[in-house]
Amino acid sequence: MERIRTDILVIGAGSGGLSVAAGASQMGADVVLLEGSEMGGDCLNYGCVPSKALIASGKAAHAQAHSSVFGVAGVTPQVDYAVAMEHVRDVIAQIAPMDSQERFEGFGVRVVRDYGQFISPTEVQAGEHVISARRIVIATGSSPMVPPIPGLDAVPYLTNETLFDLREKPEHLLIVGGGPIGMEMAQAHVRLGCRVTVIEGEKALGQDDPEAADVVLQTLRDEGVEIVEKAMVARIGGQAGSVEVATKDGQDFAGTHLLLAVGRKPNIDRLNLEAAGIETTRTGIRVDASLRTTNRRVYAIGDVAGGLQFTHVAGYHAGIVIRSALFGLPSKASTGHIPRATYTDPELAQVGLTEAEARARHGDGTEIARFDYQHNDRAVAERIIPGFIKVMVVKGRPVGVTIVGHQAGELINLWSLALANNLKMSQIAAMVSPYPTVGELNKRVAGAYFSPRLFENQMVKRVVRFVQRWVS
């Protein structure tokens, strides 16, 4: 048994863990990194990267079939699903060196490829190694939730961890779960020539602004995705190539493949957290505002901390922990400026409060500024007009932004900056955007906020008439 002493022990080599390990090591700390599975974690290997690569394949196929409006004859795309999945593998392979063991060893990080479990409040055992550390960061992420549905244990099913291993195109893909993962994969697969049915127990994209979600859902339905809502799954049966899903309201669905996309659970089972005095909640490890667990030597970041489950949140958490663990400076995580995006076409993005949340919190003090894509010249030129941007404003400052439409995930960046720095709408309005760009939407919605104040204000009109009459 080898004993290792270190300054920082990071458990998990996903996005958050890698950020802590790289930052801490390059700033002079002695760092050990544990990873029992793939370097890069879920995002690189099973999540963000492969899903966006497959979405790109679907987008290419869709463009071939819908080009006639531009004067280019549309054709029926010849989809080779196996090659599309090899494209996914190639994208992962191109990004993987950035997350590789060799790269992090080059930073001075000692990488141990094994799972770890606590054996005391300050010690973790990983295979033949016992590691004691001044500070420990748990960054083990999350895994697909597999609900206890009767019959599921006897039927082959896919999750995001196995979907990208497919090489034969599903004839009819049944997706249980209408959240972001389910809807992204539904659209990608219908564009690649699959029949797709989404079965959702409540409302599809139910965590998002209903008006914005409806724009996405209508587009998917128009493209051929069958979306069934308010349909709780009661039983699953069948066999490979012939899967049956029965819902509690008496509906039956049959398909060739089944994808479960019903949420995620924190990866804590291997950690033996009790030995370290670390408490958990229903959603993950209990942490305070500085991301410390109930063992003050131990932090938890990213999905395993039980909050927002996004790669960029894990990276943000890493910065909080580095500031606290390395420099002993007070540092607290907040969520008000954290954006999220669903990469359907059109995209759906949100930062801060939704309209319903803003009205519930601020009541009549909430003002709504809105601008539609159909009034953006670049969107009209490129035929990408479905969508809108909606800004919730309180006392002249944005408190939340909803965007649905082309490049919504890109447009939301500006509003994350605005919320993080408590900017005013007047500062957004002062921005100059190049014409014609989709990004001009951000400035135009700020203009929409001020227009009633300028064009419908009688005092403004009287002042203008006075100036025009008397000032030379």
Question: Would you call the peptide bond into 346 cis, given omega within 30 degrees of 0 as the criterion?
Answer: yes
**120 in the same domain as 15:** yes
Over range 344-360, report the average pLDDT: 97
Query: What pLDDT is stored for residue 472 in this prediction?
Result: 60
**361 in the same domain as 229:** no
Spell 90-117 as b/e; 16+ CB within 10 A means b.
ebbeeebeebeeebbeebebbbbeebbb
**270 in the same domain as 199:** no
pLDDT, tens digit (0-9, with 9 covering 90-100), for 2-14: 999 999 999 999 9
Residue matched to tokens 């987008």:
59
**273 in the same domain as 239:** no
**374 in the same domain as 246:** no
For the chain, the distance separating the N- and C-terminal CA atoms, rounded to the nearest angstrom, is 90
Instruction: Evaluate whether 215 touches 386 at the Cβ level (below 8 Å).
Output: yes
pLDDT, tens digit (0-9, with 9 covering 90-100), for 374-417: 999 999 999 999 999 999 999 999 999 999 999 999 999 999 99
Q: Is the model's pLDDT at 178 over the cut of 80?
A: yes
**272 in the same domain as 185:** no
- 285: domain CATH number is 3.50.50.60
Q: Which residues pair with 33 in a beta bridge?
A: 10, 111
Segment (H or E) for 468:
helix 458-470
pLDDT class of 329 with cuts at 50, 70, 90:
confident
Q: How does DSSP classify residue 219?
A: H
**233 in the same domain as 382:** no
Structure tokens at 323: 């500031």
Residue 464 lies in a domain: no
Measure the CA–CA gap between 472 and 470, rounded to whole angstroms: 6
Residue 373 lies in a domain: yes
For β-strands 388-394 and 226-228, DSSP reports them as: unpaired
Residue 62 lies in a domain: no
Q: Which residues pair with 129 in a beta bridge?
A: 2, 126
Mean pLDDT of the chain: 95
Instruction: Evaluate whether 265 touches 146 at the Cβ level (below 8 Å).
Output: no
Burial of 421 (0-12, 13-18, 19+ CB in 10 A): exposed
Helix (H, G, I), strand (E, B) or coil at 136: strand
Query: What pLDDT is stored for residue 408 in this prediction?
Result: 98
pLDDT, tens digit (0-9, with 9 covering 90-100), for 44-73: 999 999 999 999 999 999 999 999 999 999
Q: Helices then strands (H, E): number in the chain? A: 14, 21
Instruction: Evaluate whether 43 touches 52 at the Cβ level (below 8 Å).
Output: no
**163 in the same domain as 279:** no
Query: What pLDDT is stored for residue 327 in this prediction?
Result: 87
pLDDT class of 43 with cuts at 50, 70, 90:
very high
Higher pLDDT, 461 or 417: 417
pTM of the model: 0.94
Query: What pLDDT is stored for residue 1 in this prediction?
Result: 83
Helix (H, G, I), strand (E, B) or coil at 211: helix
Query: What pLDDT is stored for residue 453 in this prediction?
Result: 64
Residue 333 lies in a domain: no
Provide the domain count of the chain: 3
Query: What pLDDT is stored for residue 426 in this prediction?
Result: 96
Domain end point (choices 218, 238, 262):
262
Structure tokens at 189: 């697969």
**275 in the same domain as 139:** yes
Spell 382-401 as b/e; 16+ CB within 10 A means b.
eebbbbbbbbbbbeebbbbb
Residue 93 lies in a domain: no
Query: What pLDDT is stored for residue 202 in this prediction?
Result: 97
Query: What pLDDT is stored for residue 464 in this prediction?
Result: 57
Residue 312 lies in a domain: yes
Residue 58 lies in a domain: no
- DSSP per-residue string spanning 359-416: HHHHGGGEEEEEEEGGG-HHHHHTT----EEEEEEETTEEEEEEEEETTHHHHHHHHH
Domain end point (choices 300, 327, 354):
327
Query: What pLDDT is stored for residue 463 in this prediction?
Result: 60
Higher pLDDT, 291 or 460: 291
Query: What pLDDT is stored for residue 326 in this prediction?
Result: 86
Segment (H or E) for 190:
helix 180-191
- 416: domain CATH number is 3.30.390.30
Residue 24 lies in a domain: yes
Give the angle 55-61-64 at the CA atoms, nearest 5°.
140
pLDDT class of 454 with cuts at 50, 70, 90:
low
Domain end point (choices 273, 298, 327):
327
**414 in the same domain as 279:** no
Q: Where in the sequence is the domain holding 202, given as residue range(s)?
A: 152-262
Question: Would you call the peptide bond into 436 cis, given omega within 30 degrees of 0 as the criterion?
Answer: yes
Structure tokens at 391: 């800004």
Instruction: Evaluate whether 419 touches 334 at the Cβ level (below 8 Å).
Output: no
**137 in the same domain as 236:** no
Over range 153-175, report the average pLDDT: 97
**133 in the same domain as 157:** no
